Structure 1
Amino acid sequence: MSFIEWGALGQVLVAGLIVGAGIPALFALGLRLLAGTTTAPDARTAPAAGKDGGAPRTIAIARPTPARLAGAIACMGVVVGAIAYGLVFLVSGGH
C-alpha cells in the first residue's frame, strides 16, 4: 500500500519546473535579447574619467537587430500569455 500518488507527484513536479523555472528563464532571455551589445573605445587611446584631466569614456550601446527584437517580443509574449492564463485559471475556480 502506497501513500504517495506518484503520477500526481510527477505532474506537480513538471508544473513547478515549468512555472517556477521556465517562465522566469524566458523572461530573462527576453531581456537579454533586448539588451544591445556595447562597443567601448580602445582603452589605450581613451583616458578614463577623472584621470589626468581626460574626458570621460563614451560607450555606445547598439540597438538590437530585428531578429533579436522579434525573439524578445516572442519571449515576452509567452510570459504575458502564461500570466494571463494563470490568472484566468485561478479566477475561474480552477483546481
Structure 2
Amino acid sequence: MARFEMENADMAAIGGGASADVLFEMGLVAATGRDCEINLVEAHKWLNIAAIKGSPRAAQLRSEISEYMSKPEIASALRSAREWMTTH
C-alpha cells in the first residue's frame, strides 16, 4: 500500500480514479490519527468510498467505526462521501 503525507485529504487531488486501496488507506489515517487527529466522520467517508469501489475490508471497518458514531455524524459522513463521489 502507498504511504500518504497529506495535511488535508480533502485538498488532495486524488480524483475519481483513486483505487480502493488508496481510499482505504486514507480512511485508516483518519481512523487511527496517524499524523493527524482522529476523525471518525472523515474515516467513515473515505472507507465508504473505498467500499463502493470494491474494498470488502473498507466495508467491514466502516461498519465497526459506525458503532462509535452518532446518527448525525454518520449522516454527515454519508453526505460528504456522496458529495465527493458526485464531484469526482
Decide: shared fold, TM above 0.5: no
TM interval, shorter chain, is: 0.3 to 0.5
Larger strand fraction of residues: 1
- TM-score, normalization by structure 1: 0.32
- TM-score, normalization by structure 2: 0.34
Rg (Cα) greater in structure: 1
Larger helix fraction of residues: 2
